Amino acid sequence: MTTKIIELDERKKRILEAITRDYLHTAEPVGSRTIWRSYMPDLSPATIRNEMADLEAMGLIVQPHTSAGRVPTDLGYRYYVDHLMKARQLTAKEEEVINEGFRSIRQDVDEALHQTLKTLSHLLEYASVVATLDNKTRVYSSGFSHMLKQPEFADLNYTRQLMEVVEEEDLMAELVREYTTEKGVTIRIGGENKFKEVKHCSVVMSSYDMKNKTSGGFGVIGPTRMGYARVAGILESISRRLDNLFEE
């Protein structure tokens, strides 16, 4: 998915990237002085405020409640993912967790999928989903307790509703099928989601192949304030492991 045509000059790109990166890290709305101090000391706070006003008018950032700071909108996150996000290499620890998890698996599908779920839950603080989509559809999920660590899910009623949705196997199988039609990592942000049950979340999915035929997918569901580069890197690495495991 690509952003609708939006033209940003380099200054606006830098400011949108600074807001997004800071908000992803702190979960706190980002003000002009924060950008000035931490990211762009070459510009005045007044200039940054003017640029932020333009970004807000374009629908890329928004002012939540009465806060003086801004946060990215779904459209802002999409622009960041499509145009500003840099590929992220896995850390040594992440590589170690993935290597250790898949080292002893020998082409056993169920074992591989359970290990995929375990690895996702270990590395990422989001709800994890794994599904087979061949002759026998199976859906595995975990990591819901991780949701409670995210400030976006402080409302327990809201979190419970999401958990109930993820526990609907038919819906989750349809979601995985829809988001793994193309090879590679698929990112759907907030309102982009086809499924109304997750329109307030982001869904990141990848697929695995068995004998050159896509036979399933896996990924995570979490808040739109998600570390997309890290999630994509981990999913890509696991996808390669599963492809190699089943290539024969």
Q: Does domain 10-84 correspond to CATH entry 1.10.10.10?
A: yes
Sequence ranges of the domains in the chain: 10-84, 92-246
pLDDT of residue 51: 97
pLDDT at 230 over 90: yes
Strands 202-210 and 213-222: antiparallel
Question: Model-level pTM?
Answer: 0.91
Q: DSSP for 193-232, please give it.
A: -SSGGGTTSEEEEEEEEETTEEEEEEEEEE-SS--HHHHH
pLDDT at 214: 58
CB 90 within 8 A of CB 237: yes
At position 15, the amino acid (one-letter code) is: I
Strands 71-72 and 61-62: antiparallel
> What would the mean pLDDT of 12-34 be, rounded to a whole number?
95
* CATH number, span 92-246: 3.30.450.40
pLDDT of residue 213: 60
168-190: average pLDDT: 90
